[in-house]
Amino acid sequence: MTIVGVVGAGVMGTGVAQNLAQSGHRVVLVDLDREILDRATAQIHRNARLSGLLGGPVVDADAVMAAITTTTEIADLADAEFVIENIVENWEAKRAVYAELEEHCAPGTVFIANTSAIPITKIASVTGRPSLVVGVHFMNPVPMKPACELIPGFHTSAETVERTRALLASMGKKGIDVKDACGFVSNRVLMLTVNEAAYLVHEGVADAATVDEVFRSCFGHPMGPLETADLIGVDTILYSVEVLYEQYSDSKYRPCPLLRQMTDAGLHGRKSGRGFHHYDDFGRVLPQ
Ligand code: NAI
């Protein structure tokens, strides 16, 4: 059993916390306020109860909850062997959180960055422990996914990588080794696809249902790119495309204005009940 700090209790943090807890680890889950943490624990309890029905393992939801404590204080991570950071995809917010982690965590704590696109070397540079900072790009929904990208930064030690790989294995995941480039492998491709799909809707070439139907029916994809955007979070897609655009200065990553407008309007996808599609309380697509 390992004590793992999980910072950020949104879409990814709740999945990471649940996955760790049902794998026998103790979790200290951190977010900005009590209301967010209460919503997160209710979500974890529900997802754990439904795990078997959703195609995951049958888990003891009460035991999962007993393994998770929640707090608004990073200082409560003093005993954590690993900290998995899952806060919003924004450089200034991440920078501030890593400064706090550096101040409060033990000198040997491994920092695992769960980011869609921000380079791990850049994150490590604002800590005093670059050899102990590593990237893991988890996939959503975390407890259901058997693999993730494992990304060493420039200074990450081989020992940190192997300890992280072992933690992932204990969570039932294979860490696929990927080099540290903005967007890694998955999001260099996925974000371009989703951004271009958003442009199709923005330009009136097709509506969201049609775009997704082409990918599902013609290519046999289980989900279309705009359903995928709703699953990830339209806001998170926008922030990730912005990071890629800024990092590569390449117009192919120019964020679609529709993503910005939807983010401003609160149409964040499944987590807000509406994005490119409408959703019920169980995350099922409602007819338009
Ligand atoms: P989200 O918006 O659902 O959740 C972010 C959480 O972080 C919120 O609950 C927010 O209150 C909290 N937060 C913000 N600042 C904080 C701070 N200073 N201290 C503690 N908590 C703080 O975002 P999501 O989707 O969970 O994404 C988190 C990270 O994971 C992002 O970097 C994203 O790019 C990455 N990611 C997202 C995936 C997805 O499918 N949504 C997949 C893989 C990675």
- pLDDT given at position 146: 97
Phi, psi of 2 (to 5 degrees): -125, 145
**88, burial (CB in 10 Å: exposed 0-12, middle 13-18, buried 19+):** middle
State percent of the chain over pLDDT 90. 95
Q: Model pTM?
A: 0.96
Identify the band that residue 284 occupies on the pLDDT scale cut at 50, 70 and 90.
Answer: confident
Ligand 1 and 236: CB distance under 6 A: yes
Domain ranges for the chain: 3-177, 188-283
- pLDDT given at position 118: 98
- pLDDT given at position 283: 80
- pLDDT given at position 67: 98
State the catalytic residue, choosing from 45, 104, 137, 278: 137
Ligand 1 and 135: CB distance under 6 A: no
Give the distance (Å) from ligand 1 centre to CA of residue 206: 30
**Which residue in the block uniquely carries the two structure tokens 């109860």?**
49
Ligand 1 and 230: CB distance under 6 A: no
pLDDT (tens digit per residue) in 58-86: 999 999 999 999 999 999 999 999 999 99
Give the distance (Å) from ligand 1 centre to CA of residue 110: 19
- pLDDT given at position 18: 98
Q: Which among 36, 47, 87 is the best mutation to test ligand 1's pocket, defined by most ligand atoms within 8 Å of the CB?
A: 87
CATH fold label, 3-177: Rossmann fold (3.40.50)
- pLDDT given at position 286: 86
- pLDDT given at position 56: 87
Give pairs for 99-102: CB < 8 Å, separation 24+: 99/126, 100/74, 101/7, 101/74, 101/77, 101/127, 102/126, 102/127, 102/128, 102/129
Round to whole Å and give the CA distance between 238 and 101.
Answer: 26
State percent of the chain over pLDDT 70. 100
What's the complex ipTM?
Answer: 0.99
* Nearest protein Cα to ligand 1, atom 41: 232
Ligand 1 and 255: CB distance under 6 A: no
Give the distance (Å) from ligand 1 centre to CA of residue 83: 14
pLDDT (tens digit per residue) in 156-215: 999 999 999 999 999 999 999 999 999 999 999 999 999 999 999 999 999 999 999 999
Round to whole Å and give the CA distance between 269 and 233.
Answer: 5
- Locate the ligand 1 atom nearest the alpha carbon of residue 235 and give its number: 2
Active site residue 45: no
Least confident of 27-31, 49-53, 85-89: 49-53
Ligand 1 and 12: CB distance under 6 A: yes
Round to whole Å and give the CA distance between 201 and 210.
Answer: 9
Identify the band that residue 2 occupies on the pLDDT scale cut at 50, 70 and 90.
Answer: very high
- Locate the ligand 1 atom nearest the alpha carbon of residue 14 and give its number: 26
Ligand 1 and 232: CB distance under 6 A: yes
- pLDDT given at position 6: 99
Give the distance (Å) from ligand 1 centre to CA of residue 271: 12
pLDDT (tens digit per residue) in 106-143: 999 999 999 999 999 999 999 999 999 999 999 999 99
Work out the average pLDDT over 262-273. 97
Would you state the CATH architecture of domain 188-283? Orthogonal Bundle (1.10)
Q: Cα dihedral angle (145, 178, 121, 170), rounded to 10 degrees?
A: 40
